[in-house]
Amino acid sequence: MMGKNTVTSDMKMAEVIHMNYLLLPVINRFGIKLGFGDKTVEKVCRDHGLNLSFFLDIVNTYHDPSYFPRDKMRGYPATLIIDYLLQSHEYYNRTMLPEAEGMIEKLVSTCSGHCEDLRLIEDFYRKYKEELQNHLSGEEIHFFPYVRALVEGKTGGKDLETLRREYNFSYQAHADEHESVIAKLVDLKNILIKYLPPDYDVEVCNNLLYWLFIFEDDLKDHERLEDVILLPVLENIEQQFRNQQ
């Protein structure tokens, strides 16, 4: 599955960024900052005490949509995956969502005509932001701790159904929330691209759209990691737990 554009351990980290600058925030999530000099990916990972193979798989799944070694990735510890997902959450909360909000506010403040229409889009975004933040914090409060409790055996002698209830976790609700947060982001993009009233600042809106495209790609990769890797890993853990009981 290794294409010529795949990130490999012997590449220089600087080359990786030249190859795809959109990987910067992904690399940051591993605690890596710029100024790598001529260090290779392997060296940078070693310096930061990272799991090299996991780093490469994450970076490559973001870089190349066709790269997705499911079976291999399902072999990583659930807690390693969760730690990474949490870093992404922080990035969405700290950077992605507020930046987009700032751009939308600017779009409204620079409006020269149908400002009511733009305010409607702003309202839509604000509600979306709230929904996504609720979803993310729900995962942090319920879903991830549920997985951790099973992995660490901190289950207090309870059965799976009780635990799921206590941690408020259900596969269906999780899937529905994922579907909704992606669908609304896609809707927002389409509303802007196809139906935006003409009295808006072109530059501000273009920047907003670039940002939303990047956000959508990031969020989709993030949710794919949860849905296609973490959830099957969790199912295995649940099965083992049942077998032990």
Partner 1 sequence: MNPLRTVAQPVIIAEPAYLLKRGIAALVSDMVRTDVLFIDDMGELNSHLDKNKVHAVFIDEQLLTDKPSTDLFFQLKEQTLYVGLSANPGQIRHKNKFDAVMDRSGTKEELVAAVESVLQPGTGESDKAGSLLSSREQEVLKEVALGYTNQQIAAKLYISRHTVISHRKNITAKLGIKTVSGLTVYAVLNGLIPKDQIR
Residues that bind partner 1 (CB under 8 A): 65, 68, 70, 116-117, 120-121, 124, 127-128, 175-176, 178-180, 183-184, 186-188, 190-191, 194-195, 197, 224, 228, 232
CB of 179 to partner 1, least distance (A): 4
- Smaller CB separation from partner 1, 68 or 91: 68
Q: 112 phi and psi, to 5 degrees? A: -125, 15
CB of 2 to partner 1, least distance (A): 18
CB of 34 to partner 1, least distance (A): 32
- Residue at 182: amino acid letter: I
Helix 231-244 to helix 144-151 angle, to the nearest 10 degrees?
Answer: 40
Residues 6+ apart with CB under 8 A from 91: 25, 28, 29
Q: How far apart are CA 110 and CA 133, in angstroms?
A: 27
- Smaller CB separation from partner 1, 10 or 116: 116
**Joined tokens for residue 158:** 């309870």
CB of 180 to partner 1, least distance (A): 7
- Smaller CB separation from partner 1, 145 or 197: 197
Query: Do 28 and 44 touch, CB atoms closer than 8 A?
Result: no
CB of 182 to partner 1, least distance (A): 10
- Smaller CB separation from partner 1, 14 or 124: 124
Q: How far apart are CA 114 and CA 158, in angstroms?
A: 58
